[in-house]
Amino acid sequence: MIANFLRNYYVHIFVWFMIFTLPFVNYLYEPEKMRDFDPYFLKSHTVNVCFLCASFYLLSKYIAPKFFFHQRGKFTLFTIAGLLCYIVINYLLIAHNPNGDFAKMEREGLVVVRLFVAPSILYFLCVIIGNMLFFYNEQDRQKELNKQIQLQKTTAELNLLKLQISPHFLFNTLNNIRWQVRKQPHESEDSIFKLSEILRYILYDVGDNKVALNMEIQHIKNFMELQKLRFPVEGRVELSVAPDLQNHLIHPLLFIHFIENAFKFGVDSETPPDIYFLFETTPEGIIFQSRNKVLIEASREDNTGIGLSNVKRRLELLYPDKHELLISKERGFFNVSLHITCHGN
């Protein structure tokens, strides 16, 4: 406890120590003056510094936080009351000085200066610096509070985006299995198992902040197997995965929208599909590429719908300034390239 106090307030302790010792610095250069040292001055100086120190922390730690913003009148009242107390204490110290300081002040015309002007300047200097400390601490507190609020908003938004992704994905896979149960009931058991793996991944594994990339790829493979069930015509569907991806961690469900779209617009009832997915590493992170022959034209809603918006928003939140997403359509092929900087973990 004492160690924490010293660590947090060592600058304060040093400053107050310097203030206390300042009147005695002259004795270091003129030691002969020690013969005229007044013990009563040490007593009065100690009382003055202690009162100013107490006023400083009472104002900055209690009065200003409690009253400055909401009850300005009470704050002013406490400040003036503190000044009056300091003037009274200063008067009593001078009046009880056995060396007759009061009579000397009257002769030199310094009563007003010593009793009112000097204490007021010292006290209000203490008030101003104390309020500056309060405003500095309040600004830090507000920054930290805003960080916490933003973090909570970001977490809530990411959870909402995940919830928006999952029902759409589940709807598509259930449609595929329904088709298989009607046409190939003897093979539906394997498909139901793959669906259970997909649901387990969505419901449990994606709750983690990050997952191993090979888990995400296995999820994609399960999805691809279910999508192949509805192929009316055999074609090319490939997934190429670099062998050195196992050490990478990734936020889940970032790629599934592009996989879904490749099957959604790259498969029809007459033309063989041509779909290709690639995962590879770079010195900075990973690259995902998707390329599919466009067999069904996307509507405007498909191009600007919730799925792509979700992916872009999640990338902005999870990998700010650490991702590059390029989407293009050329020569009848739809291309996606997503580069994520993640440095292997």
Question: What is the per-residue pLDDT for 123?
Answer: 82
- Mean per-residue pLDDT of the chain: 78
Taken in order of first residue, the domains within the chain and their CATH numbers are 2-146 (no CATH), 184-341 (3.30.565.10)
Share of the chain above pLDDT 70, in %: 77
Check residues 212 and 229 and name the one with the higher pLDDT: 212
Q: Note the pLDDT of residue 278.
A: 95
pLDDT at residue 304 in the model: 46
Share of the chain above pLDDT 90, in %: 10
| pLDDT tens-digit map of 274-306 | 899 999 988 888 999 999 988 877 654 455 455
- In angstroms, rounded to a whole number, what is the distance separating the alpha carbons of residues 108 and 124? 25
From 61-70, 144-153, 215-224, 262-271, the region with the lowest mean pLDDT? 144-153
CA proximity to 308, closest of 331, 273, 341, 334 = 334
Token pair, residue 117, equals: 């002007």
Bridge partner residues of 236 (DSSP): 274
Q: What is the pLDDT of residues 229-252, one digit of tens each?
A: 766 667 888 999 988 776 788 888
Question: Is the pLDDT score of 73 beyond 90?
Answer: no
What is the per-residue pLDDT for 247? 72
Q: Is 242 helix (H, G, I), strand (E, B) or coil?
A: coil
276/287 Cα distance (integer angstroms)? 14
Residue 1 DSSP code: -
